[in-house]
Chain A
Amino acid sequence: RKEVEQDPGPFNVPEGATVAFNCTYSNSASQSFFWYRQDCRKEPKLLMSVYSSGNEDGRFTAQLNRASQYISLLIRDSKLSDSATYLCVVNDNFNKFYFGSGTKLNVKP
């Protein structure tokens, strides 16, 4: 079983739509959670950390559900520039990070 699982998509949405991605993780002892964004042929970059209380950064909201072991990312008012692959990342508190295979988002005009 993979440590981190994501729906690969692609999610094809029109500009202005709201879209949500989920990610599940297998290790209940995992400590830290992140969403990274990866543009085509580029390196991953941190989008946001995910806190137990949930957190918001502009149009992006991340939630953590420890009981069900999933993390979500909500994007409101999608822009063309949001088109990318979104990677869910889980840290086991021993310097090791586990990456999901990514969810591809295409925002269409």
Chain B
Amino acid sequence: DVKVTQSSRYLVKRTGEKVFLECVQDMDHENMFWYRQDPGLGLRLIYFSYDVKMKEKGDIPEGYSVSREKKERFSLILESASTNQTSMYLCASSFPGVYEQYFGPGTRLTVT
């Protein structure tokens, strides 16, 4: 069974704090993704990575950065959290191309 885990289910941070969200997958997937999900907007891609140390911007990368030092781990970093980054953050992984994405349980981040 594919497993994608995320470091926290719920997180509350203050404006201006640096926030790290961690994602780990155990299926040796090359591709990993970070999305945020907001009501009425669906899932929007923040960044994705197709190999270790490789990354590409998604549709809404502003205010975020990522790190992929090992194949199984993909981190999302909010350099200086703002209230408009309050959201559900979902990590996913897949083999390259058109294969199914497997999602982690999500991290609900609240920035106050």
Q: Does B7 contact A (CB under 8 A)?
A: no
Number of interface residues of A (CB under 8 A): 21
**Count of CB-CB pairs between chains A and B under 8 Å:** 44
Per the bound structure, the CA–CA distance linking A99 and B41 in Å amounts to: 9
Neighbouring A residues of B40 by C-beta, 8 Å: 8, 101
* Docked-complex contact A87 and B42, CB < 8 angstroms: yes
List 21 A-B residue pairs with CB atoms under 8 Å apart, sorted by A's residue number: A8-B40, A32-B98, A43-B103, A43-B104, A44-B43, A44-B90, A46-B101, A91-B98, A95-B31, A95-B48, A95-B56, A96-B45, A96-B48, A96-B58, A97-B33, A97-B45, A97-B101, A99-B43, A101-B40, A101-B41, A101-B42
Residues of A within 8 A of B (CB): 4, 8, 31-32, 34, 42-46, 49, 87, 91, 93, 95-97, 99-102
